[in-house]
Amino acid sequence: MAAEPSGLFVSFEGIDGSGKSTQARLLAERLRAQGREVVLTREPGGSPGAEEIRRLVLTGDRGRWSAETEILLFTAARRDHLERTIRPALDRGAVVITDRFADSTRLYQGTTRGDLRATVDRLHALMIGVEPDLTFVIDMDPARALARSLRRLGTPPEPAEVALQEVLEVLRLPAEDSLAPEAALLAPAAPPEDRFETFGLAFQERIRDGFLALARAQPARIAVIDGDRPEAEVAADVAALALSRLAPA
């Protein structure tokens, strides 16, 4: 599926707490200020049915789902998201910006909890068949990102996982913004969506390594952006690359 010439399908990826949601929102705001139609969405979620699945997969204890079950749930959510939100927007030439897409499933379910990457890719080819035109990986030190993420969720970091000086540094930072609500479907769920944060620092380090490996393998699609900088500097780099892929407004 290809977008209209004036449209673009952009995804933001990165470990939890990296600032990707903030950067997705800032890019959407910048493009809207130019008069472009922008659909800002997220995964899991982005459509009514997918939001229901989001509540299933992001809440509860660590052992609630096996990796295989999660792959099926995430793929089902993505299919609904594609049918009801992404495809209609691209068909009318809008810019679609999603906070996470299939690359997250490739790593969170496909490689870090068993060798299931081939399963993820087969299901993706069969049921989705779409890749973003441009993917930003917002890269950040995993300890710093995890401390920020846990602080945002109101969960004290474990001393064994996050050094005290790292926590103190993060506590001086402004909280990472969440996605600006696009509609009622983007309202946060009542239970804390912290299931993957509870997997710990070693898990986040493996996820980061996986994102960087994906970027090396697909440099034409995936751009790694240093997220350990002031928010405005990160946003400027993101916007410059995104605008280079768009026709003039």
For residue 240, is pLDDT > 50? yes
21 annotated as ligand-binding: yes
Residue 119 belongs to some domain of the structure: yes
Which of 52 and 169 is assigned the larger pLDDT? 52
| Residue type at position 174 | P
Can you give the pLDDT at residue 248?
A: 79
Instruction: Residue 186: count other Cβ atoms within 10 Å of its Cβ.
Output: 17
CA distance 170 to 164: 10
- Tell me, yes or no, whether 14 lies in a domain: yes
Q: How far apart are CA 41 and CA 180, in angstroms?
A: 9
Q: Is position 151 within any domain?
A: no
167 within a domain of the structure (yes/no): no
CA dihedral 87, 118, 109, 203 (to 10 degrees): -130
Let me know if residue 194 belongs to a domain.
yes
Contacts of 27 (CB under 8 A, 6+ apart): 10, 97, 235, 238, 239, 242
The reply to whether 17 sits in an annotated binding site is yes
What mean pLDDT is predicted for residues 169-189?
41
Residue 78 in tokens:
């993505």
14 is in an annotated binding site: yes
Q: How confident is the model at residue 242 (pLDDT cuts 50, 70, 90)?
A: very high
Please give the residue range of the domain that contains residue 97.
Answer: 8-142+179-244
DSSP code string of 139-171 = E--HHHHHHHHHHHHT-PPPTTTS-HHHHHHHH
- Residue 222 assigned ligand-binding role: no
Known binder of ligand: residue 16? yes
Residue 178 assigned to a binding site: no
Residue 128 resides in a domain? yes
Residue 53 lies in a domain: yes
Say what the pLDDT of residue 159 is: 42
- CATH number for the domain that contains residue 111: 3.40.50.300
Instruction: For residue range 202-230, list pLDDT tens digits in order.
Output: 889 999 999 999 999 999 999 999 999 99
- Give domain status of residue 132, yes or no: yes
Domain count along the chain: 1
pTM recorded for the entire structure: 0.80
For 114-157, what is each residue's pLDDT tens digit?
789 999 999 999 999 999 999 999 999 999 988 887 776 555 44
Q: How many helices (H) and strands (E) does the chain have?
A: 10, 5
Look at the alpha carbons of 147, 169, 208, 11 in this order and tell me if their dihedral is positive or negative. Answer: positive
Q: Is 60 annotated as a binding residue?
A: no
With a CB cutoff of 8 Å and minimum separation 6, the contacts of 178 are 21, 188
